[in-house]
Amino acid sequence: MPLVKLAWRNLWAHRSKTLVIGGLLLVAIFLMVVGNAFLDSAMVGLRKSFVESFTGEVIIGGKAEGTPSLFGVLSGTGIEASPLVPSPERIAAYLKAQPEVKAFTTQVTGADQLNVEGNEAGGPFVFLFGIDAASYRSLFDNVSLLHGNDLTPGQEGILLSQTQVDRMKKELGASVSVGDKILLQDFGNAIRQVTLRGIFQSKQSNQALELVAYVDPVTLRALSGISGGSSFVATDAASTSLLGATQPDELFQATSIVAASSKPTSSKKLAQLLGTRTTASEADANVWNFFIVTLNNPADAPRFIEQTNAWFASQGIPAVAEDWQKAAGPFAEVPLMIRMVFSLAVFLLTIVALIVIVNTLVASIGERTSEIGTMRALGAKKRFVWGLLFTETLLVCVIFGLAGMALASGFIGFLGAVGVPASNPLLQLLFGGATLHPAVPLSVLVSSFVLVVVVAIVAHVYPVALALRVQPIRAVQTRTE
């Protein structure tokens, strides 16, 4: 009679204990598979939503103290301005030479408030993506234009989402339409006026996209004080002294230009003044915060990032390549944090399950002392006793673990078929869209099964150690059948 049969009979004979252990395992595995399936599916949706909308598989930015993202550098104090990407010509040449690279584009990033002429209060907050109109849309066909036209190369202008237009109406009482002038006001009170060229709706439901407006890069560079300065030539002493300013807006704080006026300068006047900056901005045409790269095979991303960072190091270029999660910044952090919390919960649940299983097994060993002693007296080696008890534990773990996995797979299969609607923006962010169709990836099943086996191995160690201490003489010291 094989060991498995004997183990099975023992489990059946001690049904109540078997059910306690098995039931606990079943619930733990069910929760683990369902939770992981949800999180994995959400991450797939989230990844697709971000990668196809605006992060690509890889971003390249300048090195910073914090973690660069397309929305700014995440640091302990919040989001800070992104550094410029160094040596853009060399990086562009490098990217063009890589066979893995499908396409790439460039971007300037800023964060500002939307406003309209005559309104002094700040309007809705918006992330500004200063895009290279020639190459950006070929990578990210992510908006549907409701009104107006897309940005075109060399043309100043901004695209706002319908949500942003609605918020301007609500918060500023301003109805804006295509052709109107929009004021962009950064938090250092720099202001630029720009023409609304189009109103769009995001093709994918993504909370991050609702906060993004697309603007021509010249305007954004000027607004954010970004300057490469490579071909800007000062022609007189006054201009040269002005170049000492680190922020363009210092130009307007200087007494020689505007301090003569005792009245507050209107944004319109400032906008008129800023028109004189156009020449300098054109000189910064190749100054960017990011390269955004899509790959022929998305699975190559980790290797490509490693290879690219190695190239930066070898070339002494202070740039860094990051994946889409880093690119998405705070918007990908929430799901990742939820995954961490969930993983912690699974870990704690596993510990609790282990404790219960170990206690139940120890109690069982206590009840089976005579049986074990009899086996030892009849000539069972310690290896046999260990094998029997391990087989029992493994059987419980595998049977109930598989049952838990099957139930969870069925449950997720059902939810995958009907879809789980995201009823609020947080869920939309977590689900990476309006509806989540969860699926159980093979990796989740495999990792769950491995966990089951590990639990079985860990759980049996102490009870088996107790069992192996049972001496054959216990066979004659206790009563059995």
Partner 1 sequence: MGIVQLTDVKKVYPLGKTEVQAVRGVSFTIEKGDFISIAGPSGSGKTTILNLIGCIDTPTSGSVRIGDKTTGLLKDSVLTTLRHEALGFIFQSFNLIPVLNVYENVEFPLLLGDNKLSKKETKEWIDSLIEDVGLTAWKTHRPNELSGGQRQRVAIARALVTKPLIVLADEPTANLDSATGEAIIELMKKINLQSKTTFIFSTHDSKIVGIADHVVRLQDGLVTSEERRERSHASR
Which residues contribute to the site for partner 1 (CB under 8 A)?
Answer: 1, 3, 6, 9-10, 12-13, 370-371, 374-382, 384, 471-473, 475-476, 478-481
Comparison of 336 and 363: residue with beta carbon closer to partner 1: 363
The minimum distance between CB 364 and partner 1, in angstroms, equals: 13
Q: Which of 459, 444, 465 is CA-nearest to residue 353?
A: 459
Q: How many CB atoms lie within 10 A of CB 401?
A: 26
The minimum distance between CB 8 and partner 1, in angstroms, equals: 9
Comparison of 21 and 64: residue with beta carbon closer to partner 1: 21
Q: % helix / strand / coil in the chain, to the nearest 5?
A: 55, 15, 25
Q: Is the dihedral of CA 136, 141, 145, 149 positive or negative?
A: positive
Q: What SS3 class is residue 188?
A: coil
Q: Which of 110, 131, 85, 109 is CA-nearest to residue 228?
A: 85
Comparison of 170 and 381: residue with beta carbon closer to partner 1: 381
Comparison of 197 and 376: residue with beta carbon closer to partner 1: 376
The minimum distance between CB 466 and partner 1, in angstroms, equals: 16
Comparison of 175 and 471: residue with beta carbon closer to partner 1: 471
Exposed / middle / buried, residue 161 (Cβ in 10 Å: 0-12, 13-18, 19+)? buried
CB 324 within 8 A of CB 47: yes
C-alpha span between 25 and 18 (Å, rounded): 11
The minimum distance between CB 468 and partner 1, in angstroms, equals: 10
* Amino acid at residue number 362: V
Residues with Cβ within 8 Å of residue 110, at least 6 apart in sequence: 81, 127, 128, 130, 186, 220, 223, 224
Q: How many CB atoms lie within 10 A of CB 262?
A: 5
Q: What ranges make up the beta strands (E) of 269-381? A: 290-295, 319-323
Beta strands at 67-69 and 58-62: parallel, antiparallel or unpaired: unpaired
The minimum distance between CB 17 and partner 1, in angstroms, equals: 14
The minimum distance between CB 324 and partner 1, in angstroms, equals: 57
The minimum distance between CB 467 and partner 1, in angstroms, equals: 14
CA 347 to centroid of chain Cα atoms: 22
The minimum distance between CB 298 and partner 1, in angstroms, equals: 55
> What would the two tokens of residue 352 be?
């609790």
Radius of gyration of the chain (CA): 32
C-alpha span between 42 and 422 (Å, rounded): 11
Comparison of 89 and 481: residue with beta carbon closer to partner 1: 481
The minimum distance between CB 443 and partner 1, in angstroms, equals: 38
The minimum distance between CB 361 and partner 1, in angstroms, equals: 17
Comparison of 263 and 479: residue with beta carbon closer to partner 1: 479
CA dihedral 222, 224, 228, 234 (to 10 degrees): 50
C-alpha span between 63 and 57 (Å, rounded): 18
Comparison of 326 and 368: residue with beta carbon closer to partner 1: 368
Comparison of 242 and 466: residue with beta carbon closer to partner 1: 466
Comparison of 322 and 392: residue with beta carbon closer to partner 1: 392
